[in-house]
Chain A
Amino acid sequence: MSLTPEEVEKIAHLARLGVDDAELAEYAGELSKVLGLVELMNAAETEGIEPMAHPGHASNRLRDDLVTESDKRELLQQAAPAVEKGLFLVPKVIE
């Protein structure tokens, strides 16, 4: 399976990555190779094998339902470019 430059452009846009025209062809080639590897793995016999969700081979640890985080708004908002009335400000988002 091989990707077209247009498909690469779409994927880049979904990930909000800037990719110029020269790079599109290069990435199309590299990503196609990755898909080729996936195709190779697809051919493996997996009948009766439980799908793996994580290579850790363990199950999740859970935490008790306790509130231990205190308000650190002032500290956490120091890195924000714009803040007003306790809100983070971002360029106007119009739905």
Chain B
Amino acid sequence: MASENSSPSSTGTSATANAQSGAWEVVIGLEIHAQLATSSKIFSAASTAFGAEPNTQACAVDLGLPGVLPVLNREAVRMAVCFALATDAEIGRRSVFARKNYFYPDLPKGYQISQMALPIVGRGKVEIVLEDGQKKSIGLTRAHLEEDAGKSLHDEFNDMTGIDLNRAGTPLLEIVSEPDLRSAAEAVAYARKIHALVRYIGICDGNMQEGSFRCDANVSLRRWGQQELGTRTEVKNVNSFRFLERAIEFEIERQADVLESGQAVIQETRLYDADRDETRSMRSKEEANDYRYFPDPDLLPVEIDDEYIESLRAGLPELPDARAQRYREDYALSDYDAGVLTSDRATADYFEAVVTDGRVSPKLANNWLAGEVFARLNRDNLELADSPVDASALAGLLIRIEDNTISGKIAKQLLDDMWAGKGSADDLIEAGGLRQITDTGALESMIDAVIEENPGQVAEYRAGKDKLLGFFVGKAMKASQGKANPAQLNELLRQKLKP
């Protein structure tokens, strides 16, 4: 077995205590807008690629010019149904698109095509793991297909607003949770779970900075034991999990202060300001929302049959929960390790590729992937897919630890060289003469030299100062230029130092 064990990198949710605010029970529901990873828009054949020049991907349909008609993208439907299958949700066998009417310059038609009474995904559920390790099932109310709006740029021109309609018509799946979440930490765990799921099944790239995965939180407080929900506020403009947690924490404190001072919470939309770490009321719209939904006469109902559903079910990848369970059972990994490895599909695929032929133990593979590889990816701001050391290259290195060719310490240096593109583990071991010294004779002569040079410490050790063994190990390891087998070195030293 390996001599080196690096601890897995710590992840995710901050250790901030849940702001339960004493007298108040916190109730949170999330609305997540996941941008579907289609090539073309939901109702037009314009591209959805991010970052194009303004309005170069906005066609006549996206601009809502007279006479155009929407035609639904097959892939958007498939992705929505896959989401339903992954969350054990009801599937709307007959779903209907509706017009949500409001006026804003980045919504050219004067309405957004969405779904209201008959969404494509009905009630479902996902399981989250709480900080204490307990599992909790979170209900999904629904998920529906809709089109995104364009972007308004308020700051670039003096007294005009610039409109870029490239994003108009991009397919979104709006995923609405039940108000089952009871703290900011639970809300983040849930959002992370949905994030992992949509990436797993390949329906959303999950990029929060680019707005592909957006979370709005409905937050309210009520007295413990009270049945009816308190007045809620909707917190928007949160583009990372950390901000989601902080925005909710702030909002909980703010509402508690309002209620405890005897005032009432006003139902409103609030924007999170990351720089000030606070939420602010959006200047209330002049009218209360009155969207006057009605079925869109341009689109017929979408019908989904069993055959189609079963064909998609058969093509679903193994989902994170099932995969984590398999890792615990087949690889004897801890809950924590299995959870980290399976939270992201690319990570799990990489891990499995390392252990696939059985020459690298799962524990060693986990330690190196979650520790050494992730540390270097974070340092270089890279995704695993772009790692300079792929799974087979890492396996090549770890096999040499397993068969005692090199020590873990040497392996870390080799990983740096491999990272820099200097060659494979075996090439580097050969070229650098790094093969671990297991020849007892060679080790003994090094040890003899160390003992010779340090008579004082030898005497102290023999007089009972056991912890000096480490001193000798260090000296001898240095003499071997790190190439001694640590276990063997320890054993030989113990023998030689015996009084």
Contact = CB atoms under 8 A, between A and B. Distances in A.
Contacts of A85: 54, 156, 162
Contact of A92 (B40, B154, B302, B303): B154
Nearest to A86: B54
Nearest to A64: B74
Contacts of A15: 101
Measured as residues with beta carbon below 8 angstroms from the partner, the interface class of chain B is 35 or more
A33 B499 CA distance: 110
Interface residues of A, number: 38
Contacts of A63: 45, 71-74
A60 B303 contact: yes
A65 B72 contact: no
A83 B301 CA distance: 38
Interface in B91-130: 94, 96, 101, 103-105, 118
Given A64-B74, A84-B157, A93-B104, A54 B164 contact: no
A65 B292 contact: no
Interface in B64-96: 65, 71-77, 94, 96
Nearest to B159: A92
Contacts, number: 138
A70 B446 CA distance: 73
Contact of A16 (B103, B118, B154): B103
Contact of B55 (A10, A67, A76, A92): A76
Nearest to B53: A86
Contacts of A64: 74-75
Given A59-B303, A84-B157, A90-B161, A95 B283 contact: yes
Contacts of B44: 69
Interface string A39-62: 000000000000001101011111
Contact of B77 (A62, A87, A92, A93): A62
A56 B46 contact: no
Nearest to B60: A76
B295 interface: yes
Interface in A61-81: 61-69, 71-73, 76-77
17 contacts: A16-B103, A53-B300, A54-B295, A64-B75, A67-B40, A67-B47, A69-B40, A72-B60, A73-B55, A73-B56, A76-B55, A76-B58, A77-B55, A85-B54, A86-B53, A86-B164, A88-B165
Interface of B: 38-40, 44-47, 53-60, 63, 65, 71-77, 94, 96, 101, 103-105, 118, 152-154, 156-157, 159-165, 282-283, 287, 290, 292, 295, 297, 299-303
Interface of A: 10, 13-16, 53-54, 56, 58-69, 71-73, 76-77, 82, 84-95
